[in-house]
Amino acid sequence: MSSPAIEVCDLHKSYGTHDAVRGIDFSVARGEVFGLLGPNGAGKTTTVEILEGYRERTRGEVSVLGFDPGERPAELRVRVGIVLQAGGMYRFITVREAVAHWARLYPHPRDVEEVIAVAGLQDKAETRVRTLSGGQARRLDLALALVGDPELIFLDEPTTGFDPAARRAAWETIRSLRDLGKTVLLTTHYLDEAQELCDRVAIIKAGRILAIGRPQELGVGAATRVRVSWRDEEGRLQEREVEDPTALVHELTSAAVARGASVTELTVVRPSLEDVYLELTADAAASVTADPVPARA
Amino acid sequence: MPSTAVLAWHQYRLERRMFWRNPSAAFFNFVLPLLFLFLIGAIVSGDQDQLDVIVPGIAGMSVLSTTFSALAMNLTFLREQGVLKRMRGTPLPSGAYLSALAANAVTNAAIQVVIVVVAGRVFFGTGWPEDYLELVVFVAAGVACLAALGVAYSHLIPNFDSAPAFVNVVFLPVIFVSGVFFDAENAPAFLRDIGRALPLTHVIDGLSGALVTGASLADNAGSLGVIALWGIGGAVLAVRGFSWEARRG
Q: What is the pLDDT of residues B99-132, one digit of tens each?
A: 999 999 999 999 999 999 998 888 888 888 888 8
Q: What is the pLDDT of residue A289?
A: 40
B17 contacts on A by Cβ (under 8 Å): 97
B100 domain-assigned: yes
B40 domain-assigned: yes
B152 pLDDT higher than 50: yes
B90 contacts on A by Cβ (under 8 Å): 77, 102, 105-106, 148
Greatest C-alpha distance within chain B? 60
Give the DSSP H/E element, type plus range, for residue A153.
strand A152-156
Give residue A51's identity as a one-letter amino acid code. L
From CA A213, how far away is CA A191, in angstroms rounded? Answer: 14
Residue B85 has its nearest CB partner, among A87, A105, A107, at A87
B60 domain-assigned: yes
Is residue A106 within 8 A of residue B6, CB to CB? The reply is no
Is residue A167 within 8 A of residue A175, CB to CB? The reply is no
Residue A74 has its nearest CB partner, among B81, B82, B91, at B91
Domain residue ranges of chain A, discontinuous segments joined by +: 6-79+151-220, 225-270
B216 domain-assigned: yes
Among residues B165, B161, B141, the alpha carbon closest in space to that of B67 is found at B141
- B86 and A84 in contact by Cβ < 8 A? yes
CATH number of A6-79+151-220: 3.40.50.300
ipTM of the complex: 0.85
B249 pLDDT higher than 60: no
Q: What is the pLDDT of residues B187-240, one digit of tens each?
A: 788 888 898 899 999 999 999 988 888 888 888 889 999 999 999 999 999 988
The β-bridge partners of A213 are A201
Helices B32-43 & B48-64, crossing angle to 10 degrees? 170
- From first to last of its 297 residues, what are the pLDDT tens digits of chain A? 568 999 999 999 998 889 999 999 999 999 999 999 988 888 999 999 999 999 999 999 999 999 999 999 989 999 999 999 887 899 899 999 999 999 999 999 999 999 999 888 999 999 999 999 888 898 899 999 999 999 999 999 988 777 888 888 889 889 989 888 999 999 988 888 888 899 999 999 889 998 898 887 776 554 567 788 888 888 888 888 887 888 888 988 998 888 888 888 888 877 666 677 777 776 544 444 433 444 443
SS3 annotation, B119-157? HHHHHCCCCCCCCHHHHHHHHHHHHHHHHHHHHHHHCCC
- A107 and B22 in contact by Cβ < 8 A? no
B171 domain-assigned: yes
Cα angle B125, B188, B40; round to 5? 30
Q: What is the pLDDT of residue A226?
A: 78
- B89 and A52 in contact by Cβ < 8 A? yes
Count the domains in chain B: 1
Q: What is the pLDDT of residue A219?
A: 61
B42 domain-assigned: yes
Q: What is the pLDDT of residues B50-95, one digit of tens each?
A: 888 888 999 999 999 999 999 999 999 999 999 999 999 999 998 8
B172 domain-assigned: yes
Q: What is the pLDDT of residue A224?
A: 61
Give residue A117's identity as a one-letter amino acid code. A
B161 pLDDT higher than 80: yes
Q: What is the pLDDT of residue B217?
A: 83
Among residues A278, A271, A292, the alpha carbon closest in space to that of A164 is found at A292
B80 domain-assigned: yes
Using a CB–CB cutoff of 8 Å, tell me whether B82 touches chain A: yes
- A105 and B93 in contact by Cβ < 8 A? no
User: How many other C-beta atoms lie within 10 A of the C-beta of residue A213?
Assistant: 16
Domain residues for the domain of B42 are 4-240
